[in-house]
Amino acid sequence: MADRVLKVNAFTTFTLLDGEVEGHGWQTDAPAVLNVTTGDGDVILELELDNTETDEVQSHADRASLSPDEARELAAELESYADRAEE
Amino acid sequence: MATDVERWKDEVYGNDIREHLFRFAEEGWDAIPEDEHDEWFERFKWWGLYHQRKGQESYFMMRIGTPNGVLEPGQLRTVAEVADEYARGPVDNPEFGAAYCDWTTRQSIQLHWIKLEDIPDIFEKLEADGLSTQQACGDSWRNIVGCPVAGKDTHEHIDAWPVAEELHETFKGNDEHSNLPRKWKVSVTGCDQGCGQGDINDLAFEPAEKHGELGFNVRIGGGLARKEPRFARDVDVWVPEEKVVDIADAATRLFHDHGDRDNRFNARIKFLVDEWGAEKVRRVLDEEYADWDLETAGEDLRDQYTYNAGGDEHGDHVGVHEQPDGNYYVGLNVLVGRQGVDDVIELADLADEYGSGEARLTQRQNIIVTDVPESDLDDFLAEDLLEDYSPDPHPFMRGSIACTGTEFCSLSIVETKNRQVRYARWLKENVDVPDGVTDFHIHLSGCTASCAQPQIADVSLRGMKTRKDGEPVEALDVGLGGGLGEHPQFADWVEMRVAADEVPGYIQNLLAAFDEQREGEETFREFVAARDEDALGDLADPEETDYEDPYMHNTKMTWYPYADEDDLDASPAPTDGDGETISADD
């Protein structure tokens, strides 16, 4: 089994989330690591689902780069949806 | 774009940090501006000081670098006295008491709960006895490791101790090499057993013969952290003993100039070797950094390497071994590398009484007393202290290594040392050791930084989280089958997020499967290597047993995992030089 791709330590934003990976005609639940960091002036959002839970995709992590403005927009969206989720 | 750390290093780094450190010590914790904590804590590492984790503000871990693990006569006592006087925190550790010393996997010493205000006095006491914390951490030459019995080993082809000493004296405090892109770990060994662990170091010197002369082959670019563990690559270079410092200087300058300072996660030289390949590393070394024509590699001794080789091995220097001079060295097992300070003082007394007073630290977190005459051996071995630090330990006690963990470390996400102590004791009481197994390596690291070197263990454990009965609990990823030797192998990861209290049951089931399915005298490492991913995953299941784990809760979120009141809010930190809480109003 391949090792984890993302480093995991006390600075990792979330070490244990409920994740889901979905393709055409298949879907699998898996624990996930979700982390926020910075790189080259951007905010990096990175996600990795435990690779033990599915054979549909190879061991991997996903990353998206957000400009600081985009990161703030995302933060506002998260706040807003957090409120809605609690309604 | 330069990283924050590179900018901070450009402003103040290396030897110059000391005057600032002493100024802060004089003025007290509050003198470090809060918005400059990160940069000063990064710089303090160069002087061997790591600020402890959240909830333990104002306290530091202090690392003392002992080259090749050698503690000259008297130094073990000095370390113990420093620990006794200065390394005491607000709460005792339930296994190890109020003050203790940690022997690390890189033959160094770590003390905890060090107060900023005490640092000048500690440095004075250490330095008066030839000890130092300089470059024990930070982006520079780290403590040089090697065969811990260099100069006292019947398996030795070259006495590597003077070589390690010369490297230490040349590169410690050397301003030209004080600010490297990242840490620089060097190993030197002259024995034929491979116990310098050169394969996992940035720069490794291993004994090799050329033109009938014994010298060293050079390997570059090993390291364990994160998902990119690498064994050091053979760069096809041999040097005679008198050229070791020169080639080390050349390799360090190459790293200084070409290491990636824009991305600390890509800065170790292993990534440069990945990018360039060993041939280009050699060519650039030869053409631009060495002022002599490099020789190609000599004939090495790797086919004789037995250290952590998985079979009939010389695994850890534990036990009674004859030295070339007819005296003996006695390797004592120190479970998870930690000794209470009273035991260290008693051991220093015994080293004086029975040996030369010298002690040596191993890369398996153990300690060796050297130079014991044959006539005194029986009396030494009969000492009560050796019941706790045995030269003939049970395989599970012998093989257990753990990093610092959430007790003090900012990176770890699980408790490690006390948990590993409990694992070892439970396994000893409950699990049958398969025939022929004398040394079963179980390494527990609290995060992916790999300080316990989990990838080179029979069973690799690494901190994670899982959910159990609906609650988040501490867990471990599990790998199998790692080790060194002629053909080093990193562990295969086989289980993710095993609840920490189900790991002993997993190991019990694993060893039962090994015992049942192994062919003849097959070693555990061979057994793992012979199986594919699916077969390894099917070998054993985690299981609850009567093993009890008091650290299942999120110890990262406590101020100290063993405090009665362990909530972050209950922390007395930060404290002043007397250990009194500094009020936010002060």
Residue contact B413–A7, C-beta within 8 A: no
A16 to chain B, minimum CA–CA distance in Å? 6
Contact B493 A7 (CB under 8 A): no
Bond prior to B574 in cis (omega within 30° of 0): yes
Q: How far apart are CA A66 and CA B363, in angstroms?
A: 43
Please report the pLDDT score of residue A52 as a whole number.
Answer: 76
Q: Name B382's Cβ contacts closer than 8 Å, sequence gap at least 6.
A: none
pLDDT given at position B439: 85
- Give which of B4, B56, B227 to mutate to test A binding, by max A Cβ within 10 Å: B227
Residue ranges of alpha helices (H) inside B485-560 are 503-517, 524-529, 533-538
Among the partner residues B225, B265, B496, nearest to A52 by beta-carbon distance: B496
Chain A residue numbers with beta carbons less than 8 Å from the beta carbon of B408 are none
* pLDDT the model gives residue B584: 64
At which residue do the structure tokens 């609290």 appear? Answer: B446
Alpha-carbon gap, residue B579 to A59, rounded angstroms: 48
Pairwise CA distance, residues A18 & B201, whole Å: 37
Q: Where are the domains of chain B?
A: 4-128, 156-304, 324-393, 397-553
Contact B430, B504 (CB under 8 A): yes
Calculate how close chain A gets to B214, using CA atoms only, in Å.
39
Give the pLDDT score at A3.
Answer: 86
Whether residue B411 and residue A10 make contact (CB cut-off 8 A), yes or no, is yes
Do B156-304 and B397-553 fold alike per CATH?
yes
What is the three-class DSSP state of B76?
Answer: helix
CA distance to partner chain A, nearest, from residue B223 (Å):
15
Q: Across chain B, how many H-helices and E-strands are there? A: 17, 21
Q: Residue B347 is encoded by which pair of tokens?
A: 């051991």
Cα nearest neighbour of A31 on chain B: B466
Distances in Å between the alpha carbon of B408 and those of B93, B282, B297? 11, 41, 43
Q: Does A76 touch chain B (CB under 8 A)?
A: no
Pairwise CB contact (< 8 Å): A9 & B226: no
Determine the Cα–Cα distance for residues B350 and B367; give it in Å rounded to an integer. Answer: 13
How close, in Å, is residue A27 to chain B by CA atoms? Answer: 20
**Residue written as token pair 């006087």:** B85
The answer to whether the Cβ–Cβ distance between B410 and A10 falls below 8 Å is: yes
- Rounded to two decimals, the ipTM of the complex is 0.94
Chain-chain contact of B413 with A8 (C-beta, under 8 angstroms): yes
What is the DSSP track for B213-258?
Answer: EEEEEEEE--B--TT--BPPEEEEEEEEGGGHHHHHHHHHHHHHHH
- Say yes or no for a CB contact (<8 Å) between B465 and A2: no
> What is the secondary structure of B20-57 as a DSSP string?
HHHHHHHH-GGGS-GGGHHHHHHHHGGGTEEE--TT-T
Q: Name which CATH class applies to B4-128.
A: alpha beta
| H or E element that contains B299 | strand B299-300
Q: Which residue of B has its CA nearest to A4?
A: B227
Q: How far is B453 from chain A (nearest CA, A)?
A: 15
Q: Which residues pair with B203 in a beta bridge?
A: B186, B220
Task: Determine, for residues A9 and B449 on separate chains, whether the beta-carbon distance falls below 8 Å.
Answer: yes
Q: Which CATH superfamily is domain B397-553 in?
A: Sulfite Reductase Hemoprotein, domain 1 (3.30.413.10)
Decide if B79 contacts B109 (C-beta within 8 A).
yes
Q: Which of B329, B400, B319 is nearest to B105 (CA)?
A: B400
Place of tokens 């927009």: A73
The CATH code for residues B156-304 is 3.30.413.10
Residues B474 and B415: beta-carbon distance below 8 Å: yes
Q: Which helix (DSSP H) or strand (DSSP E) does residue B461 occupy? A: strand B459-468
Residues 6+ apart with CB under 8 A from B308: B194, B195, B197, B315, B441, B456, B483, B484, B485
CB B142 within 8 A of CB B360: no
Say whether A10 and B556 touch across the interface (CB within 8 A): yes
The Cα A45–Cα A38 span in angstroms is 8
Q: How far is A74 from chain B (nearest CA, A)?
A: 25
Phi, psi values for residue B392, rounded to 5°? -140, 65
- Whether the pLDDT of residue A2 is over 90: the answer is no
Instruction: Provide, as residue numbers in chain A, all residues whose Cβ is less than 8 Å from the Cβ of B477.
Output: 4
Are the beta carbons of B188 and B244 closer than 8 angstroms? yes
User: Phi/psi of residue B413, each to 5°?
Assistant: -115, 0
On whether the CB atoms of residues B113 and B89 are closer than 8 A, the answer is: yes
Question: Does residue A58 sit at the B interface (CB-CB below 8 Å)?
Answer: no
Cβ neighbors of B380 (< 8 A, separation 6 or more) are B330, B350, B354, B355, B369, B372, B386
Q: Do A3 and B493 touch (CB under 8 A)?
A: yes
- The answer to whether the CB of B333 falls within 8 A of the CB of B298 is no
Q: In this complex, which of A1, A7, A40 lies closest to B226 when CB atoms are compared?
A: A7
Q: Does A19 touch chain B (CB under 8 A)?
A: no
pLDDT tens for each residue of chain B, 586 residues long? 678 999 999 999 999 999 999 999 999 999 999 999 999 999 999 999 999 999 999 999 999 999 999 999 999 999 999 999 999 999 999 999 999 999 999 999 999 999 999 999 999 999 999 999 999 999 999 999 999 999 999 888 999 999 999 999 999 999 999 999 999 999 999 999 999 999 999 999 999 999 999 999 999 999 998 788 999 999 999 999 999 999 999 999 999 999 999 999 899 999 999 999 999 999 999 999 999 999 999 999 999 999 998 876 676 899 999 999 999 999 999 999 999 999 999 999 999 999 999 999 999 999 999 999 999 999 999 999 999 999 999 999 999 999 999 999 999 999 999 999 999 999 999 999 999 888 899 999 999 988 999 999 999 999 999 999 999 999 999 999 999 999 999 999 999 999 999 999 999 999 999 999 999 999 999 999 999 989 999 999 999 999 999 999 999 999 999 999 999 999 999 999 999 999 765 4
Asked whether the beta carbons of residue B465 and residue A52 sit closer than 8 angstroms, the reply is no
The residues facing A37 across adjacent strands are A44
DSSP letters for chain A: -PPPSS--STT-SEEEEEEEEEETTEEEEEEEEEEEEEETTEEEEEEEE-GGG-SSS-S--EEEEE-HHHHHHHHHHHHHHHHHHH-
In angstroms, rounded to a whole number, what is the distance separating the alpha carbons of residues B473 and B563? 18
Q: Among partner residues A4, A16, A41, which is closest to B465 by beta-carbon distance?
A: A16
Element containing residue B204 per DSSP (H, E): strand B203-210
For domain B324-393, the question of CATH label 3.20.80.10 is answered with no
Among A56, A60, A64, CA closest to A35: A64
β-partners of residue A14 are: A34
Contact, B86 vs B114, CB < 8 A? yes
Q: How many CA atoms lie within 13 A of B408 on its CB side?
A: 26
- Give the integer Cα–Cα distance in Å for B405 and B414: 6
